[in-house]
Amino acid sequence: MDMLVPKTKLAKLNKPVSRKLRAYAFDPSLSLLTDTVQVNNIVYKVEWEELQQAGTKTLPAGEYIEIIDYDPASGVFYPPVDLNDPYLLAQDGLNPSVSNPQFHQQMVYAVIMTTIKNFERALGRKIQWSPHIYLTESNKIGGSSFVQRLRIYPHALRQANAYYNPQKKSLLFGYFPAKPANVQLQLPGGTVFTCLSHDVIAHETTHAILDGLHQRYIEDTHPDTRAFHEAFSDIVALFQHFTFPEVLKHQIAKTKGDLNAQNLLGQLAQQFGLAMGSYGSLRDAIGKTDPVTGEWTPQKPDPEEYATKMEFHDRGAVLVAAIFDAFLNIYKQRIKPLLRVSTGGEGDLHPDMVDLLANTASDTASRILKICVRALDYCPPVDINYGDYLRALITADVDMVAEDEKNYRVAFIESFQKRGIFPTGVKTMSVESLVHEPFPEFELAEDDEEIFIKFLKEFKEAVAYETSREKVFDTTKYFISGDKKKKITGLYDRINSKFILSNAGKKFAELSGLLFPEGTMACEGLGFGHSDYSDLAKYSVENLWLASRITPDDKIINHVIINLVQKRGIRVNIDAEQNFSVAGYFDPGKDKPDNGFIFRGGCTLIFDLDKMQLKYAIKKGIDDVERMERQYKYKNNIGADKGEVYFSDKTLATLSGPFAFMHSFTHQH
């Protein structure tokens, strides 16, 4: 018999893995229906972190967010919930309640942290909020500083809306009285809190995370760029539905496994939609409810959609539908053998079958969400369009999984094709032509060793084991700009000294799509300063990331991702027939000509650290006249009447249906 050995000291306990918090899977409206109440109240398992007890007005405050519950309309601070209270810890947080502001804070915390962790698992690194940009006295960009926490205001506005504010690094959630068309589902005049909707919270959080990854995507340079922000935010919210086992099983049982039928998983913001007088959710990835009959019908992909839908959220819905369709097709393929062995019949599915189908759905959804998130690292840093994203999806997946046994790639291609989305400059819609061309060997010849390889090794050593986000940010910054004390030459100066006025520069210009003086007429004869090599095309190293990702077969892949962005002032000539030509260039720091506009090019370089080679250079050329023309005409509403893919302010004004309500940005042009 074993004896208990008396010890003088208690064994030290490990930190808990997660903090369990009760909240709605969707929003409060589904807790009012007998059918869904049992699955709508769920427990979120949020990765454990210490929460600060920082005064009475700011709580909870963790590593990534702080919740400030000030309600300007009523002029009150709602007392903060203390998630460290032993009573709350022992009962998985407060009970879901519409009337308890402390529960609102708890729900916002749970959903935001869940969303952040989903990103980090897919990206293979900690997320950063977009840095704070500070200006010098002469109003020029002086530099950037670390943003520790996003500020969350659960009751910021009396408005049927929620926002991400990229300047103030905050999420603002509104609340409003319902004006429902169907009083059975939503009480008229009852208050709807957007901070109680999983979908609204996940959507706004994704806007903020995406802004931290690609700071230029909030620039409206193509009809797709801001639509992409909306679509991507919806995609994350939708696929998170599949991570709630209770909801998933319930919906699988209800639809007998047919997720093409109307179901909660494919819908976004139910209560919001109902409260705004619609008969269904605010957005639905697979179908829509007829406003007259109230009947739900599945959506059919329309190859004209991409060419005609121009309002951000409508256009975003095209991309969401394409991704969701790819998911459904893979799911249907995967469950075929399961359904074959099932006895079928009229009755309910056997609970074991429900489990099997639910596992397949959740596994497929989680793989799709991971591919969608990882693809962000394979996108150009500026001017993204849906075609670029398709290529990024394919390349990201090829990079992680050699064999596409379950046909994920084909499913993506097919569903984009059905909606008329074709990447430019690609000959066929096949995996082979869509995947970005890898560089079998580093092609920068003798210059590669010092400028990149040594640099990459040093960078990896400096940040790989760093757990503090702030330290990663600061270290990355001196790896970009250099640090004399630590004797580190920054990437910016390395590129300057190696590529400017050199033969290697020509190659690098070709590879990156950016301008380096030797290969270009426009920059000849100009002086090259320290901070920029040319008055005509300034570049910056916008991001430098180390990613350590785990493949589905448990291999670790280490990548360094570099985003270079270049800016140029273009003088434009438009003739009587509205033909576009470049009249010359200008320095945006000095001039502001009437016929000028600022044009950006950029390049994403992906290095494989295990093989020490450049894998991909994904570019948007700074010398691409076609792109200049498209962008200029889009921004100036030229050619919109010719049926080209540009939209005018007029179109925007007439297209402000219910879909326009979930705006993302407070700053408007």
Q: Catalog residues that contact Zn ion under the rule CB under 5 A.
A: 230, 664
Token digits of residue 461 = 């050593």
Smallest gap from residue 652 Cβ to Zn ion (A): 15
Q: Do 579 and 568 form a contact (C-beta atoms < 8 A)?
A: no
Nearest residue to the partner Zn ion, using Cβ? 664
Residue number with CB closer to Zn ion (233 or 604): 233
Q: Do 188 and 181 form a contact (C-beta atoms < 8 A)?
A: no
Residue number with CB closer to Zn ion (175 or 508): 175
Residue number with CB closer to Zn ion (230 or 518): 230
Residue number with CB closer to Zn ion (112 or 546): 112
Smallest gap from residue 166 Cβ to Zn ion (A): 12
Report how far residue 79's alpha carbon sits from residue 70's, in angstroms, rounded to the nearest whole number: 9
Smallest gap from residue 176 Cβ to Zn ion (A): 17
Interstrand relation of 596-608 and 613-620 (parallel, antiparallel or unpaired):
antiparallel
- What's the 3-state SS for 114-159? HHHHHHHHHHCCCCCCCCEEEECCCCCEEEEECCCCEEEEEEEECC
Report how far residue 203's alpha carbon sits from residue 320's, in angstroms, rounded to the nearest whole number: 13
Residue number with CB closer to Zn ion (278 or 512): 278
Token digits of residue 76 = 């009150």
Smallest gap from residue 415 Cβ to Zn ion (A): 22
Report how far residue 404's alpha carbon sits from residue 426's, in angstroms, rounded to the nearest whole number: 21
Residue number with CB closer to Zn ion (59 or 317): 317
Residues whose CB is less than 8 angstroms from the CB of residue 497 and which lie 6 or more positions away in sequence, other chains included: none
Report how far residue 277's alpha carbon sits from residue 452's, in angstroms, rounded to the nearest whole number: 57
Smallest gap from residue 225 Cβ to Zn ion (A): 13
Residues whose CB is less than 8 angstroms from the CB of residue 394 and which lie 6 or more positions away in sequence, other chains included: 409, 412, 413, 431, 434, 435
Token digits of residue 30 = 């589904």
User: Residue 67, SS3?
Assistant: strand
Residue number with CB closer to Zn ion (275 or 480): 275
Alpha helices in 124-183 (DSSP H): none
- What's the 3-state SS for 14-78? CCCCEEEEEEECCCHHHHCCHHHHHHHEEEEEEECCCCEEECCCEEEECCCEEEECEECCCCEEC
Smallest gap from residue 636 Cβ to Zn ion (A): 25
Smallest gap from residue 226 Cβ to Zn ion (A): 9
Q: Do 562 and 492 form a contact (C-beta atoms < 8 A)?
A: no
Smallest gap from residue 208 Cβ to Zn ion (A): 11
Residues whose CB is less than 8 angstroms from the CB of residue 430 and which lie 6 or more positions away in sequence, other chains included: 413
Smallest gap from residue 164 Cβ to Zn ion (A): 7
For residue 654, with 0-12 CB atoms within 10 Å meaning exposed, 13-18 middle and 19 or more buried, which class applies?
A: exposed
Please, how many CA atoms are within 13 Å of residue 503, restricted to the half-sphere of its CB?
A: 5
Residue number with CB closer to Zn ion (452 or 661): 661
Smallest gap from residue 233 Cβ to Zn ion (A): 5
Residues whose CB is less than 8 angstroms from the CB of residue 157 and which lie 6 or more positions away in sequence, other chains included: 72, 73, 163, 172, 173, 174, 175
The interaxial angle of helices 223-240 and 351-374, nearest 10 deg, is 150
Report how far residue 663's alpha carbon sits from residue 173's, in angstroms, rounded to the nearest whole number: 11
For residue 430, what are the CA distances in angstroms to 73, 411, 419, 617? 54, 11, 16, 20
Smallest gap from residue 384 Cβ to Zn ion (A): 16
Residue number with CB closer to Zn ion (268 or 491): 268
Residue number with CB closer to Zn ion (39 or 202): 202
Signed CA dihedral, 216, 221, 225, 230: sign only:
positive
Residue number with CB closer to Zn ion (152 or 495): 152
Q: Scanning the structure block, which residue is given the tokens 């398992």?
A: 45
Smallest gap from residue 148 Cβ to Zn ion (A): 24
Residue number with CB closer to Zn ion (194 or 613): 194
Please, how many CA atoms are within 13 Å of residue 364, restricted to the half-sphere of its CB?
A: 27
Smallest gap from residue 663 Cβ to Zn ion (A): 6
Smallest gap from residue 667 Cβ to Zn ion (A): 13
Smallest gap from residue 388 Cβ to Zn ion (A): 20
Report how far residue 106's alpha carbon sits from residue 129's, in angstroms, rounded to the nearest whole number: 21
Residue number with CB closer to Zn ion (230 or 325): 230
Report how far residue 462's alpha carbon sits from residue 441's, in angstroms, rounded to the nearest whole number: 25
Residue number with CB closer to Zn ion (613 or 664): 664
Smallest gap from residue 271 Cβ to Zn ion (A): 17
For residue 296, what are the CA distances in angstroms to 188, 263, 284, 289? 23, 10, 10, 4
Report how far residue 38's alpha carbon sits from residue 253's, in angstroms, rounded to the nearest whole number: 14
Residue number with CB closer to Zn ion (204 or 325): 204
Report how far residue 529's alpha carbon sits from residue 496's, in angstroms, rounded to the nearest whole number: 10
DSSP state of 483: B
Residue number with CB closer to Zn ion (616 or 661): 661
Q: Do 102 and 94 form a contact (C-beta atoms < 8 A)?
A: yes
Residue number with CB closer to Zn ion (240 or 489): 240
Smallest gap from residue 265 Cβ to Zn ion (A): 20
Q: E strands along 87-149, which residues?
A: 132-135, 141-145
CA 452 from centre of chain = 28
